[in-house]
Amino acid sequence: MDVVEPIVIVGTGRCGSTLLHRLLAQHDDVGWLSTWNEVFPSMTGLSRFSNLYRLPMLSRRVRHSKIFPKPFENYRFWESYLPGFSRRERPLTADDVPVEAIPKVRERVARILKAQERDRLLVKVTGWARMVYFDRIFPDARFIWLQRHGLSVVSSWVQAGWLDVTSTPDSPSWQWGEVPEPYYRLWQELGGGPLLSAALKIQLDLDDIRRNRLYFPERTLEVTYEELINEPTATLHEMCGFAHLSWSHGLARAVAATRFVDRTNKWREYLAEEEAERVVEFFDRASAYQLWAQPA
């Protein structure tokens, strides 16, 4: 069994990718890495239990409980076969892939698909794009880039708290590598601080995704979180067409069972107007530099 046209969801952290991942994971033809693969990366046979996630009679509480095998980002799985996959200090390139590991990781992924009796792989990865990285392993991969309004992403990140994106770029705690001089000057000019540090990290991720997308314009679909929330069926139909998937009963059932909530203005619960204005100005001015279009 081989791995053909895997589907890779990319985006910044807190862009809504978990929602999208869990919806597409219920497609009848799609297999994926679960929380159990994260804990036991070598025990690919455990993936047969991932089919429990698709059972229609399960309550949302059970399906998303901590111990249940559900779709997961799985950095530990990839890291166990591809050392360096989880590095944070710079974006990954195709040259970072340990070539000798490619046959092994493809074989392991094929075992996972076989255990689930599915023939298409679904992967989610946020932060650094890793698109050229995955392309080195899966040359026919198709990428879905989920975007979300920057203000919503920053607000959500600051509340999440489980990954440090608020340490300032001039501190030893900054984990995300070299900051382009125009961004650092802009960060300082607008007052710096944790909130703009989160915006800076997100801008670096966006630049990397845009730079990666240039290599695969025909194999990348851009979709917004707002489209997914407001028109879920039409948006998922578009994704299925792009990924060469037919519409499925499992996916239709998942859409019908999901409560889609528009959280566009939720940032108002956490940010003052002045803070929001600074974040929006940072993104507007940083985007105008178009650093992603310049040689790395």
Would you say 211 and 296 are in contact if contact means Cβ atoms under 8 Å apart?
A: yes
Query: So what's the pLDDT on residue 108?
Result: 97
Task: Provide the whole-model pTM.
Answer: 0.97
For residue 146, the SS3 value is: strand
Query: So what's the pLDDT on residue 295?
Result: 64
The domain over range 7-293 is classified in CATH as 3.40.50.300 = yes
Using 50, 70 and 90 to split pLDDT, how confident is the model at 163? confident
Query: So what's the pLDDT on residue 272?
Result: 95
The one-letter amino acid at 177: G
What mean pLDDT is reported for the chain?
95
265-296 pLDDT, tens digit per residue, is 999 999 999 999 999 999 999 999 999 997 65
Query: So what's the pLDDT on residue 2?
Result: 87
Query: So what's the pLDDT on residue 296?
Result: 56
SS3 content of the chain, % helix, strand, coil (to 5): 55, 10, 40
CA distances from 53 to 28, 48, 59, 70, 149 (A): 12, 10, 10, 6, 30
Is residue 259's pLDDT more than 90? Answer: yes
Using 50, 70 and 90 to split pLDDT, how confident is the model at 253? very high
Residue % of the chain over a pLDDT of 70: 99
CA 50, CA 30: separation in Å to the nearest integer?
11
Roughly how many angstroms between the first and final C-alpha of the chain, as a whole number?
37
Using 50, 70 and 90 to split pLDDT, how confident is the model at 79? very high
How would you class 42 by CB atoms within 10 Å of its CB: exposed for 0-12, middle for 13-18, buried for 19 or more? exposed
Please, which residues have CB within 8 angstroms of residue 178's CB and are 6 or more apart in sequence?
90
